[in-house]
Amino acid sequence: MALLFSILLLLPFSLSELLFVSVIWRHGDRAPGNLPYPLDPHNITAWPRGWNQLTNEGIKQTNDLGLWLRNRYMVETQHINGVFNKDERSLSSAQSVMASLFPPEAEFVWKKGFTWQPIPIHSNGEDRDDPNTGMEITALNVDNLYDITREISHGLKQPDWVTDEVVERIKEFKRAHDGTLSSLLGTMGVSNGELIPSAAAVIAELHRENGKDFVQLWFRNESSSNTSEPIQLTLPECDSSCPLSTFNAIIAPLTINSTK
Ligand SMILES: *[C@@H]1O[C@H](CO)[C@@H](O)[C@H](O)[C@H]1NC(C)=O
Ligand SMILES: *[C@@H]1O[C@H](CO)[C@@H](O)[C@H](O)[C@H]1NC(C)=O
Ligand SMILES: *[C@@H]1O[C@H](CO)[C@@H](O)[C@H](O)[C@H]1NC(C)=O
């Protein structure tokens, strides 16, 4: 699903006991994917950046997220490593976050009064179209895919890829609705059951205390604040500061190894 972005920030060891931060965020507010219904009086002219693209509000939200991250972490550009989905609004959101996370300072100022500098953004380069369905599967069209169940109940023969497991996954996806972030929170057992706000972020922090490593999870579940405290998430089987080895043991059965 095309809603989420992730970025990794590696922080200098010497400055802090915070060793590593991983942030997964949802894109900002966006235009509808298409005309919501044929007679809708609000056509494309209401959405100057186009269907599916970030709106000005969405750019403001992701920009605020960048400020928020900047306020929470003193970040140095050279340590950044981000992986983003390659669809247009993911990349636009990434640029918007980067613009406020890394404004040029001191020797990085390349034009007086200009508060932007280019920051490299890596895409995972994956074409998100599913090879079996020929379309990108999103919250907008999963309803169409769900209609496979109607074909099945009418005894229509399905292609080989439509296994029971796939049908179950389609149902799961439909339930998850908001895609990556709500699935992530649900899988870890820390969902609050609410819809995921635009530009919300789930953050994993790796801390070292007395030579031992701990993971803390945080949820910034709002769209436009540059300073508010995030909500701490606690895995059901661990403490809010979860020993890294315990965290890995809990997470291992929930992860998919994409290198296989
Ligand atoms: C879109 O709507 C405006 C008025 O709301 C109308 O003037 C325009 O012709 C419409 N454009 C298209 C492409 O339908
Ligand atoms: C954020 O999370 C808290 C705690 O689960 C919840 O009470 C609140 O309603 C959430 N806010 C939004 C905007 O989802
Ligand atoms: C952060 O948000 C506050 C309140 O909305 C605003 O007054 C302030 O200018 C913002 N800071 C930056 C750097 O944008």
C-alpha 70 – ligand 3 centre gap (Å): 12
Question: What is the percent of the chain with per-residue pLDDT over 90, rounded to a whole number?
Answer: 31
pLDDT of the residue at 260: 39
C-alpha 226 – ligand 3 centre gap (Å): 6
Instruction: Count Cα neighbours of 239 within 13 Å in the Cβ-side half-sphere.
Output: 6
State the average pLDDT for the chain: 81
For 169, other C-beta atoms within 10 Å of its C-beta total 12
Closest-CA residue, ligand 2 atom 2, reads: 221
Ligand nearest to the CA of 39: 1
Does ligand 3 have an atom closer than 6 angstroms to the CB of 1? no
Ligand nearest to the CA of 103: 3
Ligand nearest to the CA of 60: 3
Asked whether residue 3 carries a pLDDT value surpassing 50, the answer given is no
Confidence of residue 7 (pLDDT cuts 50, 70, 90): very low
- pTM for the predicted model, two decimal places: 0.75
Q: Which residues have any ligand 1 atom within 6 Å of their CB?
A: 43, 45
- Token pair recorded at residue 169: 């996954």
User: What is the per-residue pLDDT across 27-83, written as a single tens digit (0 to 9) for each?
Assistant: 899 888 888 888 888 889 999 999 889 999 999 999 999 999 998 887 665 556 677
C-alpha 227 – ligand 3 centre gap (Å): 8
C-alpha 197 – ligand 2 centre gap (Å): 9
Q: At what angle do helices 180-187 and 164-176 cross, to 10 degrees?
A: 100
User: What is the per-residue pLDDT across 188-234, written as a single tens digit (0 to 9) for each?
Assistant: 999 988 888 999 999 999 999 888 999 999 999 999 887 889 999 99
Does ligand 3 have an atom closer than 6 angstroms to the CB of 67? yes
Q: Does 169 or 22 have the greater pLDDT score?
A: 22
pLDDT of the residue at 5: 43
Q: Does 249 or 165 have the greater pLDDT score?
A: 249
Asked whether residue 1 carries a pLDDT value surpassing 60, the answer given is no
Q: Which atom of ligand 2 is nearest to the CA of 221?
A: 1
3-state secondary structure string, the chain? CCCEEEEEEECCHHHCCEEEEEEEEECCCECCCCCCCCCCCCCHHHCCCCCCCECHHHHHHHHHHHHHHHHHCCCCHHHEEEEECCCHHHHHHHHHHHHHHCCCCHHHCCCCCCCCCCCCCCECCCCCEECCCCEECCCCCHHHHHCHHHHHHCCCCCCCCCCHHHHHHHHHHHHHCCCHHHHHHHHCCCCCCCCCCCCCEEEEEEEEECCEEEEEEEEECCCCCCCCCCEEECCCCCCCCEEHHHHHHHHHHHCCCCCC
Mean pLDDT of all residues in 245-256: 86
Q: Does 56 or 168 have the greater pLDDT score?
A: 56
C-alpha 32 – ligand 1 centre gap (Å): 16
Does ligand 3 have an atom closer than 6 angstroms to the CB of 101? no
Confidence of residue 178 (pLDDT cuts 50, 70, 90): low
Mutate which of 71, 222, 226 to test ligand 3's pocket (most atoms within 8 Å of Cβ)?
226
Ligand nearest to the CA of 228: 3
Q: Which residues have any ligand 2 atom within 6 Å of their CB?
A: 192, 194, 197, 221-222, 231
For the chain, what is the largest distance between any 2 Cα atoms, rounded to a whole number of angstroms? 68
Q: Which atom of ligand 1 is nearest to the CA of 41?
A: 5
Q: Which atom of ligand 2 is nearest to the CA of 222?
A: 13
Mean pLDDT of all residues in 157-174: 81
pLDDT of the residue at 237: 93
Residues in the chain: 260
